[in-house]
Structure 1
């Protein structure tokens, strides 16, 4: 990390990152003496260069790698050497042991994409090879699945703007957190305000608290299926505005490092979208970024969105919980799931440091009208 970059951070945030604050990578309490080892992943700490600005994103043609796997003789061949494949819930999530993600070839990555599209979420254990392969490998990995997204406001490792970082320790947080509510849990699909939001998303923790800090996921596919066919038919006629303005204003106020790399955008997406590979349909609204339904009066829009948000919040039968352990990599399909970090570890003052690889996918495809989900 360059001296210039560290200076840029310290000028905007008084309480800056300390290489000796929080926990070591194994999640155990760090020793509080001058004999502590330097933080192993210091090169992946977030920076916020003040001169970093990018033009608006332009549309691109996305070819989903999962579609290629449909033509493979065995679309699940990448799991052949797995020692354990366990469903977390019937509707969402699988935990996998014995597969080395870093060793997957192109076909294996295609099969992984299809598997994630079908299951929504997968938790891969014992992935030290992947995590320790470093940022150049992370970029190569992500580009297999789509165009890498550069987040407009979050921190990234020095020289690697395509890597989105989450970070909290005893002194500071560089996350998009709102602390004026009873709970900081906020369901969202990552940067759904973009014209082409992310698809297959890879995330891992470099440091974690000794307890807590898990991530909740919910299936927007199974959530849709639980609604009455008449209501689903109505939702399929609707579109909603997704906005990045609030997130940008949060950073513009001086929090989260104060970075605004691109002007915030708003885009209109269908309330129900269709996956390009599986054909499954899913709700595509989230409390964090969806602001209003197009064409409805304010009270009508607020009533429908509040109902959907409350339903998403309070339906554990659609949810799965990813419990973090050292060297875990979690991969999900951002098109058909929503998620939220659980900030239940704040009082412990331990470090939670994660990296996200975020390839963009297609512009959301509207659901097919008249499809009977009750069959």
Structure 2
């Protein structure tokens, strides 16, 4: 049994720099400004390889959910909506204690509200096995082809930054003044993710939040005639640049980069809502358009999404926060607005879902 988040961890781990360092401390404690959760430090093995992802059958758990959500929300639950279009903060619910029916209702609620911010989660009962068990309820977990994962648990995608390791600048380039980068996680997969879990392990005193935007409301704000022009179009989502960047840095490419075509406008399988499905991170071109036509339209859509202040919310973090969102109908971006001397550490579990569906109604 691997340790829970709160158990004592004595481990030899490959540091972010790929150098070896022994860390001996209890989770939640700091020693010489070391990480509070060394078990979850990012691990890279350039020899690690994953097989090609095969297409799988999937039934969205939200289709089984009771719309009243009695197994998720109880009389002691406090719900605070962050905006009319996206985002709900929830206290009084322990994700680790939810039944299968409660997890079904969580899938439905994430689809309806796009983003859920769970507060005061008790990490002592939610070690890596239970975290993975919960995420698998929503679909097979994507194993990231290039990012750092947790040694022995390749299902985790690790987000880590400390005074010596700035993954955002390394990934995006040091010549960029604005490090905001809107994306939907691994949208290049044939079956991109749906209900996604983000466990905050360590957070700066101030800053380091995540911006989330509703792709549903972004679509709704377009004129009916423009919406008609977009429906039926497809765009290429690509992992090629991500893989090439990892190779150049001496990092792993655990499986060859893929590219897939997805509808520019997709329909949520449970709520039936229509949403834009483009993002700066992975959408490269519109199928059938000349390059300049594609670039012009995508640039407009990217700007339309990123400037939609009234359908964008800022998810703030504090100890015990777990964020859940539906990748099919949202985009998000980290905000690198905190001092370089402070650490930010989180892990993500990313269940894959159905092949994106074109609009049918």
TM-score (norm 2): 0.91
Aligned CA distance change for structure 1 residues 19 and 186 (closer, same or farther; 3 Å): farther
Alignment of 1:289-300 (within 5 A): 289-300=282-293
Could you tell me how far 1:152 is from its partner in structure 2?
A: 0.4
Match of 2:120 among 126, 145, 159: 126
Question: Contact 1:81/1:99 (CA < 8 Å) preserved in 2?
Answer: no
Q: Which ranges in structure 1 are unaligned for 5 or more consecutive residues?
A: none
Alignment of 1:1-375 (within 5 A): 6=14, 13=17, 36=32, 39-69=35-65, 72=66, 74-129=68-123, 133-174=126-167, 176-254=171-249, 258-345=251-338, 347-368=339-360
Could you tell me how far 1:100 is from its partner in structure 2?
A: 1.1
Question: Contact 1:286/1:309 (CA < 8 Å) preserved in 2?
Answer: yes
Moved more, 173-182 or 261-270: 173-182
Could you tell me how far 1:191 is from its partner in structure 2?
A: 0.2
Aligned residues: 348
Distance in structure 2 (CA, Å) of the matches to 1:14 and 1:149: 23
Distance in structure 1 (CA, Å) of the matches to 2:172 and 2:19: 17
Distance in structure 2 (CA, Å) of the matches to 1:83 and 1:244: 40
Q: CA RMSD in A?
A: 2.2
Distance in structure 1 (CA, Å) of the matches to 2:28 and 2:337: 18
Q: Which ranges in structure 2 are unaligned for 5 or more consecutive residues?
A: 1-9
Question: Contact 2:36/2:202 (CA < 8 Å) preserved in 1?
Answer: no
TM-score (norm 1): 0.88
CA deviations 1:304-334 (Å, max 9, x no partner) are 0000001111111111110011110100000
CA deviations 1:259-285 (Å, max 9, x no partner) are 111111000000000001111110000
Could you tell me how far 1:237 is from its partner in structure 2?
A: 2.1
Distance in structure 2 (CA, Å) of the matches to 1:147 and 1:17: 32
Question: Contact 2:212/2:330 (CA < 8 Å) preserved in 1?
Answer: yes
Aligned CA distance change for structure 1 residues 16 and 297 (closer, same or farther; 3 Å): farther
Distance in structure 2 (CA, Å) of the matches to 1:293 and 1:167: 33
Question: Contact 1:59/1:196 (CA < 8 Å) preserved in 2?
Answer: yes
Aligned CA distance change for structure 1 residues 40 and 84 (closer, same or farther; 3 Å): same
Q: Secondary structure at the match of 1:340?
A: strand
Aligned CA distance change for structure 1 residues 178 and 312 (closer, same or farther; 3 Å): farther
Aligned CA distance change for structure 1 residues 132 and 351 (closer, same or farther; 3 Å): farther
